[in-house]
Chains A and B, each alone.
Chain A
Amino acid sequence: MKTLIEFKEVVKEYTRGEKTFYALNHASFQIGEGEMVVILGPSGAGKSTLLNLLGGMDNASGGQILFDGADLTTYSDDALTDYRARNVGVVFQFYNLIPTLTAYENVALMKDIEEDTLDPAEALRAVGLEQQMHQFPSQMSGGEQQRTSIARALAKNPRLLLCDEPTGALDTDTGREVLALLQQMSREKKKTVVMVTHNSMFAEIATKVIRVKNGRIASVTENKEPKDANEVNW
């Protein structure tokens, strides 16, 4: 399996008054193409920080972040925007749909940056939303909104799908549906999926689990036989 992502001694620091605080402290790990990775850790551990760096949405204070061999930390703002537009799909905890656009329009929005995107209707059908296509976010349930958000992330056919607590705002059943959808993307469409969560039960569906604690990588474990998302209980 080809290595897609490599973190090398990545540091993210914040200055709080006089003191320097490390949100990420010399983190190193690798992720292969097509993997389903779960990043686990308690609240405040630095998971979101890690994911944001991976998505080119934040700048590291030190170290190297390699994507397909290229170092993101050397990228300019424009190059990062380009990287995000081409390679990364993001799914947020609170969906972050544009409230004034319908589900269809939220997905079609991606056409504004990349001509070569999936047909929005098709993307929505893939997440099982053909019925709700023309509803506004406020007219949809949390699960439906999150699925729209996944459809939006998938529309431009990215190599990397990043999800920050995608089930955080959902109940068990809808959360499971979303997980299944993500797993399906990884298995069938060969996407690399990186999902952040504080729920250790999710570790079972991953092919690799990265545990984060106080900004450090506590452990990286491979999972030879990941469970089906539908079998997970929490």
Chain B
Amino acid sequence: MLNRKLWRDLWYNKTQFLSIFLMAFLGLLVFVGLDAESHGIEKSGDTFYEAYNLADFWIKGCYFTKDDANKIMEIDGVNQAERRLHIEGKAEHLHGTDSNAQTAEEDNEPYMQLEFLDTQNISQMKVLSGEPFQEDREGVWLDDKFATYQKLTVGDTLTIKVNNTEITEPIRGTIIHPEYVYYTSESEEMVPSYGTFGCAFLSGKEFPGAGNIYTEILVDTDADKNQEQIKEKIKEIMDNPDIIIMDRTQMLSFSTFDAEIEQHKMMTFMFPMIFLLIAVLGIITTMTRMTANQRIQIGTLKALGFSRGRITRHYMSYGFWISTLGALLGAVTGYYTLPALLRQSMQTTYVLPVWYVAISRNSYYAVIIEVAVSTWVSFMACRKELREVPAETLKPKPPKNMKHSALEKSKMWLRMSFQTQWNIRDIIRNKARTSMGIVGVAGCTMLLLCAFGCYDAFQAFPAWLYEDLMTAKATIVLSDSCKQGDAEEYAKKYKGQMIEEEAIELTANGKAKTGTLTTVDDGNLMHFQNQDIKEIELNQEGIMMSAKMASVLGVKAGDFVKWHVMGDDTWQNTRITQLNRVPSSQGITISREQQKKLNYDFRATKILTNHSVPADISDDLQVQTLSDATQLKQEMVDSMKVMNLMVVILVIAAAVMGIVVLHNLGVLSFIEKTREIATLKVLGFRTRKIRGILQMQNIWVTTFGILVGLPLGYGFLLMLCNSVSDSMDIVPVITPYSYALAIAGTYAVSILVNMMLSGKVKTIDMVDALKGTE
């Protein structure tokens, strides 16, 4: 029968319990959804890497003989080692007549990353169509996305420009590859437009060039052996200062995907925390109220001989059932909706054979914790009523000790209006309820501000990159075969500014990180900003380090950092004289003069210009691509659109949270105040006047909550921006407009709730409410 009471109580308090249910539901929906998504993509990557034996180390820096590979294979813990050549090239005029169908503006000589293989046991390709790769078979195994986009199929031929020679090969298969889960044609492009560039795999025998061609060794190790030891051993055996050994975390594809997973995991924990907090607040308010209202019932049950444990379990089961129901339904809904929603953008950014949706153990823990906390909170709420002897519980609660606060004794008090006095007393005597209200409102403001802030940050991002930091209309990206003399000529012709970008490795405080060395020639198309986003001039002394890189390495201006250019073993130890903020390609920046002092030869890799450059310049052998800033910016804006989804989710969450908490508290305080309100009515206060009094308190609480919520929202946004990835630096800008919107939104929620509740003032029956209990 107690169970029947349970279900009927739930039904009679359905709005309250529905709100708790909703919070549990939303919390677990987001948690399990994001967990299934992040754990799913992690699994998708891991399975792919495992099945196609992604290399553990890449050794680069010189020509490697078969003997070198054999020697490495003998190291304890190494399973296999094999040679490869990685080189950039271009696809020549695409085959036959079909290419005529392509529009004129389109790049007819797409950029290609080429891999020439000796053997293929490590980092194997997954063939999607055509025949499997064979070491001595002539032909090319082509990036599947590229083949699809360029309308190439198995059996067609492809001409590739590489090493200043053209080779024409039949396409044997279309493939995807564990080292090409994420790849780009240019460092600035964040969401790659796959298909407009590609990768291809060929037998080493097809390479146009004589002698030993292999400049890379791939190493496959036993995962359970000490990887650092193996690395040391390789260094020892190769005994060549020029070589560098990269592990997976230094590979663009692996590390980008990995960072993406980490970011998703972080989200998994941040958002549901808020919902859980609200669910707990909801349960506290509802259960405290319910047990207080059912005080006499509890006393009766005790008098009838129900044991304390029995009654406790009864009241705990409210929290238990509601949260179990909400949590499980939320988990299932989250599992089936969120991954599917988020997948779309993942699938355009990363190339994987299978996309799994899989939850981790954390999802089970989340459900258990949610239910446990809710049940525990219900227990705490009824414990108080159960401590007393039944004779006491059967009596209505004695009124609280009405002490006068210091304020009430002061002179100021007398000058306040009745409304103010009434509300101040009410707040002081219901501190718990008031603080819960403030927490709820603060949470609402925080989420709103964070949502609008995210929107601002993402809006500002492309403009920051393409309007503030780089004021060139076009970028000519030079190819590997471009001589410095040619570059100078282009620069002169288009009045451009030359830039050299090289991959470097940096170390400080025992941390190693790969980054970009940007050397800037004279010109005014590239700009720098300090940490306050104020424009600064590039120092001629020392180096300028990007702020994100500095924070990753744990260094600051004035510190020394060691670095070397990839493929060159001369380590530099230079002082950081400036810090600058850049959105992507973190690393260091120096001037051309400074570079000269460090004994490097300047070799431009791209030219920024504001003059119009003919589109067919990319046909030149020296030019890799010509990119248009407005177009790049537009692409970036488009790719940021997925972020709007997150903004919408946040805004909805904020509104639901605000409404639920405030409505709950409103109903609660309303019930507690029924007697007082009835008294006011008897005394002749008009309904409108009473509403005004209630509204006043509401506005106080809301205002205070907003004041608390704004800094929290900024902090939360900061956390979000910092967690995005090591290579991206998003400045958490919040426009005044967004602040206004967050504040207005919170007031709107508060007023809405007030409207929902104010109808109740009329329904209070004076006689009924004032009838005594004895």
Considering only residues 42-58 of chain A, those with a C-beta below 8 Å from chain B are: 48-49, 52, 55, 57-58
Contact of A100 with B306 in the complex, beta carbons under 8 Å? no
Residues of A within 8 A of B1 (CB): 101, 105-106, 108-109, 111-112
The reply to whether A90 and B4 form a contact with Cβ atoms under 8 Å apart is no
Give bound CA distance, A93 to B302, whole Å: 16
**Contact B302–A57 (Cβ < 8 Å):** yes
Is the beta-carbon distance between A101 and B8 smaller than 8 angstroms? yes
A58 contact from B4, B301, B391, Cβ within 8 A: B391
Residues of A within 8 A of B402 (CB): none
Q: Is A172 an interface residue (CB 8 A)?
A: no
Chain B CB count within 10 A is highest, among A100, A108, A113, for A100
Q: Contacts A52-B391, A112-B1 known; A96 to B305 CB distance under 8 Å?
A: no
Contacts of A58 in B (CB 8 A): 389-392
Residues of B within 8 A of A109 (CB): 1-2, 304
Interface pair A81/B306, CB less than 8 Å apart: yes
A96 and B9 within 8 A (CB):
no
Residue B296 at the chain A interface, CB threshold 8 Å: yes
| Pairwise interchain contact A81-B307, C-beta atoms closer than 8 A | yes
**Alpha-carbon gap, A105 to B8, bound state (A):** 12
Q: A92 to B394, Cβ gap below 8 A?
A: yes
> What are 28 A-B interface contacts by the 8 Å CB criterion?
A48-B391, A52-B390, A55-B303, A57-B394, A77-B308, A81-B307, A81-B308, A84-B303, A85-B306, A90-B303, A92-B300, A94-B773, A96-B297, A96-B299, A96-B303, A96-B394, A98-B5, A100-B4, A100-B8, A100-B12, A101-B4, A105-B1, A106-B1, A109-B1, A111-B1, A112-B310, A113-B304, A114-B305
A84-B302, A112-B1 known; 16 new pairs, CB 8 Å cut-off, are A52-B390, A58-B391, A58-B392, A82-B305, A85-B304, A86-B305, A96-B297, A96-B394, A98-B5, A101-B1, A101-B4, A101-B5, A105-B1, A108-B1, A110-B304, A112-B310
Q: Does A59 contact B (CB under 8 A)?
A: yes
Q: Judge if A198 is at the interface, Cβ distance under 8 Å.
A: no
C-alpha spacing A52/B302, complex, angstroms: 12
CA distance A112 to B313 in the complex (A): 13
Given A57-B389, A59-B389, A92-B394 in contact, is the A81-B2 Cβ separation under 8 Å? no
Which single member of B2, B305, B392, B774 contacts A84 (CB below 8 Å)? B305
B268-319, CB < 8 A from A: 296-297, 299-308, 310
Query: For the side of the interface on A, what is the size category?
Result: 35 or more
Tell whether A105 pairs with B303 under 8 Å between CB atoms, given A57-B389, A77-B308.
no
For the complex formed, measure the closest distance between the CB of A97 and the CB atoms of chain B, giving whole angstroms. 8
Q: Kindly list chain A residues whose C-beta atoms are within 8 Å of the C-beta of B774.
A: 93
Which residues of chain B (127-186) have a CB below 8 Å from chain A? none
A174 CB to nearest chain B CB (Å): 19
Residue contact B307 to A96, C-beta cutoff 8 Å = no
Q: Which residues of A from 98 to 147 have beta carbons under 8 Å from B?
A: 98-101, 105-106, 108-114
Q: Which chain A residues lie closer than 8 Å to B303 at the CB level? A: 55, 57, 84, 90, 92, 96
With A105-B1, A108-B1 given, is the CB distance from A98 to B389 under 8 Å? no
A33 to B271: give the CA distance in the assembly, Å: 66
Does the CB pair B306–A113 fall under 8 Å?
yes
On chain B, the residues within 8 Å of A55 by CB distance are 303
| Residues of B close to A185: CB separation below 8 A | none
A55 to B299, CA, bound (A): 13
User: How distant is A132 from chain B, measured CB to nearest CB, in Å?
Assistant: 18
CB within 8 Å of A: which B1-36 residues: 1-2, 4-5, 8-9, 12
Tell whether, in the assembled complex, residue A57 and residue B390 are in contact, meaning their CB atoms are under 8 Å apart: yes
Instruction: Please measure, in the bound complex, the distance between the C-alpha atom of A166 and the C-alpha atom of B293, giving whole angstroms.
Output: 23
In the assembled complex, which residues on chain B have CB atoms less than 8 Å from the CB atom of A96? 296-297, 299-300, 303, 394
B300 touching A98, Cβ below 8 Å: yes
Q: Which residue of B lies closest to A102 (CB)?
A: B4
What's the least CB distance linking A42 to chain B, in Å?
15
Q: Which of A92, A94, A112, A152 contacts B2 (CB 8 A)?
A: A112
What string of 1s and 0s marks CB contacts (under 8 Å) between B763-774 and chain A? 000000000011
Residue of B nearest to A99 (CB): B297
Give Cα A128 to B9, complex, Å: 28
Answer whether residue A88 sits at the interface, using C-beta atoms and an 8 A cutoff.
yes
